[in-house]
């Protein structure tokens, strides 16, 4: 996994806030702030963080569902020209969306209840490939079998399926154009635990069979530990730590990562956990001058509150903290 399929460099996504109907305001919410990372071909790259950390916004910027404020997103496809997505026009994006697909969080709201499975999964094929008739129904039937559903389901509506089956339909729709990269946004968070395991195993099998690359967005650390090769931890729009899954869970470097891991429940009631990290609740009035985690961090000093932290590389992990490796 040495070839890079996706490069994100200095990506920002700012939303204006305040003002009102007759007032103008320069205030913005920095939903994604100076984010940079790369994704290797064939890996599963995890993005984790609490609600409001910017995970979904980052995924939608990569897909260009949202137009980023600035930055660069470079997509390196097999046997095709390299594409810069932020500056890409509509025609370029239509072509890119064949090779980059998305699986959404809620399998019910992401499927049109008025359309049959044939139309839901086959719509992209009819639009991009001009498929119709028997060729279309045969291809959709093949996709259903690949995700563990029966071809007889072609003429059913989404309300006839369970939550796990609906998510399989979403995966089938994403696979329709033989993509190279799939962004899974909380793809299993709305499912029961047993169904989560089935869906994760399916995604891993499909990855091996079709040489897929995943960006896996989640808040469940147990899930990302199971499926991801590398993990980026986000807090208020910034990646505060990026490391391999093994290194992140063995020796987290950032206080926020440590707090997240200390909150993961242990399934064995007889097991004892070390002391839980003490972290204050989030405060909406975040300082933009210093570290964004400073008002919650138990180790914060005046340096943290007044000066933005540099990115440090410690044992192969990129950490955004003044005292990374010391606390």
Q: What is the pLDDT of residue 56?
A: 93
* Torsion over CA: 289, 291, 296, 297 (sign): negative
d(CA 178, CA 166) in angstroms, rounded, equals: 20
- Size (the chain), residues: 327
Q: State the residue for tokens 């002391």.
A: 275
CB 275 within 8 A of CB 69: no
Q: What is the pLDDT of residue 24?
A: 65
Q: Which of 208, 203, 205, 209 is nearest to 182 (CA)?
A: 203
CB 196 within 8 A of CB 228: no
The residues of the chain scoring below 70 in pLDDT are 1-2, 18-25, 265-288
d(CA 265, CA 188) in angstroms, rounded, equals: 18
Phi-psi region of 171 (alpha: psi -120 to 50; beta: other; left: phi over 0): alpha
Q: What is the pLDDT of residue 191?
A: 77
Q: How many CA atoms lie within 13 A of 137 on its CB side?
A: 8
Q: Which of 92, 97, 204, 77 is nearest to 147 (CA)?
A: 204
pTM for this entry: 0.88
Number of H helices, E strands in the chain: 10, 12
Burial of 163 (0-12, 13-18, 19+ CB in 10 A): middle
Burial of 91 (0-12, 13-18, 19+ CB in 10 A): exposed
| Fold (topology level) of 4-228 | Rossmann fold (3.40.50)
Question: 3-state class of 110 per DSSP?
Answer: coil
- Going by DSSP bridges, is the β-strand pair 44-48/230-235 parallel, antiparallel, or unpaired? parallel
C-beta neighbour count of 40 within 10 angstroms = 16
* Torsion over CA: 90, 94, 96, 100 (sign): positive
Q: State the residue for tokens 């089956």.
A: 165
Q: What is the pLDDT of residue 289?
A: 79
d(CA 242, CA 248) in angstroms, rounded, equals: 8
CB 6 within 8 A of CB 181: yes
188-206 burial, b at 16+ Cβ within 10 Å, e below that, comes to: bebbeeebbebbbebbeeb
Instruction: Quote the Cα angle for 214-218-224, to 5°.
Output: 70
Q: What is the pLDDT of residue 3?
A: 92
Domain boundaries along the sequence of the chain: 4-228, 252-264+282-327
Q: Determine phi and psi for 296, rounding to 5 degrees.
A: -115, -10
């Amino acid at each position: 996994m040495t070839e890079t399929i996706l490069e994100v460099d200095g990506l920002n996504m700012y939303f204006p806030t305040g003002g009102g109907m007759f007032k103008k305001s320069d205030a913005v919410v920095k939903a994604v702030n100076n984010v940079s990372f790369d994704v290797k071909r064939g890996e599963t790259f995890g993005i984790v963080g609490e609600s409001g950390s910017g995970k979904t916004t980052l995924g939608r910027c990569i897909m260009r569902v949202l137009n980023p404020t600035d930055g660069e997103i470079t997509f390196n496809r097999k046997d095709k020209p390299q594409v810069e997505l932020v500056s890409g026009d509509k025609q370029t994006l239509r072509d890119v969306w064949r090779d980059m697909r998305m699986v959404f969080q809620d399998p019910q709201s992401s499927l049109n209840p008025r359309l049959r499975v044939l139309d839901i999964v086959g719509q992209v094929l009819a639009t991009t490939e001009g498929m119709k008739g028997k060729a279309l129904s045969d291809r959709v039937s093949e996709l259903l079998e690949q995700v563990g559903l029966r071809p007889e389901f072609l003429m059913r509506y989404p309300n006839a399926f369970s939550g796990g089956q609906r998510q399989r339909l979403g995966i089938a729709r994403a696979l329709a154009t033989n993509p190279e990269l799939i962004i899974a946004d909380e793809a299993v968070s709305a499912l029961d635990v047993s169904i989560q395991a089935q869906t994760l195993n399916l995604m891993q099998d499909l990855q091996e069979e079709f040489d897929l690359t995943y960006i896996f967005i989640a808040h469940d650390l147990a899930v990302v530990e199971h499926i991801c090769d590398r993990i980026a931890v986000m807090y208020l729009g910034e990646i505060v730590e990026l490391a391999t899954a093994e290194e992140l869970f063995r020796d987290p470097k950032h206080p926020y990562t440590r707090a997240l891991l200390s909150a993961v429940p242990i399934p064995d009631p007889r097991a004892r956990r070390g002391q839980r990290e003490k972290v204050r609740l989030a405060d909406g009035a975040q300082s933009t001058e210093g570290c964004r985690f400073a008002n919650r961090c138990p180790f914060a000093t005046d340096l943290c509150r007044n000066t933005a932290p540099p990115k440090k590389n410690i044992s192969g992990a990129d950490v955004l903290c003044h005292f990374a490796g010391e606390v």
